[in-house]
Amino acid sequence: MTFVLHPALCCPIDAAPLVMDELSLVCEHGHRFDVARQGYVNLLSPKDKRSKDPGDSRKMVSARAAFLNADFYQPLARACLDITLGYCSTVTDGRITLMDAGCGDGYYLHYVQENLPNSFRARSSLIGFDISKWAVQQSARRCDGTWFVGSNRHIPMADASVDLLFDMFGFPDYSTFRRVLAPHGKLVRVTPGDRHLIQLREIIYPNIKPRHVKTHYPETFNVVSEKHITYEITLGPQDLKCLLLMTPHMFRSTFERRQQALNHDQLTLTVDVIFEELEATTTE
């Protein structure tokens, strides 16, 4: 796929603008980052790299791609599209930058891009990043865009450069999100509800604690809308295996209890997810 350089992309070392130089990105101070043949660039700061291969493994990313490609979470992708359509309809001119922070395999941004009307798609720029290089490689295979390896703590983008920022089941860094959001931009937080995958969790854990606690956001953000999405999916053993592998459940549960779940020919699960749209507060 083709790497697309967003004009607001910055050097992760000194925050200077990046420009293309053949097959690399360079800043005015000489820092150089090679664009991989898969269509992405690694901009992860060494101080954010706490292991040799951070983030989801190749196997976890493959499992996530297989699960999401089966469209079990398509209603969630549709909600992302609806939010994007609503935002785009309020912007009459100029380009719109859509970012997925912790983009995983790129399923949600790709769905949005594929289903946007041509008038909106023509003036929309896609940016996705993840701390896992395997995830970003998968994202870059899905569609052209600005894909890079990076962390929420240090997003290499200019201030006020992102219009719509999606945080799908991620680990937010609100100060960084606030910095990169445009004055009229929105942050979309997507989090699991209390009954999300409850049937699976009851099998693999001896005790179930309430999962969803009302998020208390910093004063820099205001919640302007909330939507609760709940529906059921029925999975076979292979789908269950992919679901387990793509989530922390694989590492938090015992082998015996995971096997109990996989022994089901079919298992019906509740999807329970909360979408919150937030706007940055203004300073007087």
User: Are the CB atoms for 91 and 183 separated by under 8 Å?
Assistant: no
Rounded-to-integer distance, Cα 73 and Cα 79, Å: 10
Measured from the Cβ of residue 174, the count of other Cβ atoms closer than 10 Å reads 18
Render each residue's pLDDT in the chain as its tens digit; 284 residues: 688 999 999 999 999 999 999 899 999 999 999 999 999 999 998 766 666 667 789 999 999 999 999 999 999 999 999 999 999 998 877 899 999 999 999 999 999 999 999 989 888 999 999 999 999 999 999 988 999 999 999 999 999 999 999 999 998 999 999 999 999 999 999 999 999 999 999 988 888 877 656 778 899 999 999 999 999 999 999 999 999 988 877 777 777 888 888 888 999 999 999 999 999 987 54
Q: Residue 90 burial by CB count (10 A; 0-12/13-18/19+): exposed, middle or buried? A: exposed
Rounded-to-integer distance, Cα 26 and Cα 41, Å: 11
Distances from the Cα of 97 to the Cα of 106, 123, 188, 210, 225, angstroms: 15, 9, 14, 36, 21
What integer pLDDT is reported at residue 284 of this predicted model?
47
Instruction: Tokens for 24, please give them.
Output: 């690399």
Output the pTM of the full model.
Answer: 0.92
The DSSP element (H or E) to which 81 belongs, if any, is helix 74-88
Q: Give the strands of the sheet with 124-130, arranged side by side.
A: 41-42, 146-149, 124-130, 96-101, 162-168, 181-192, 267-280, 221-235
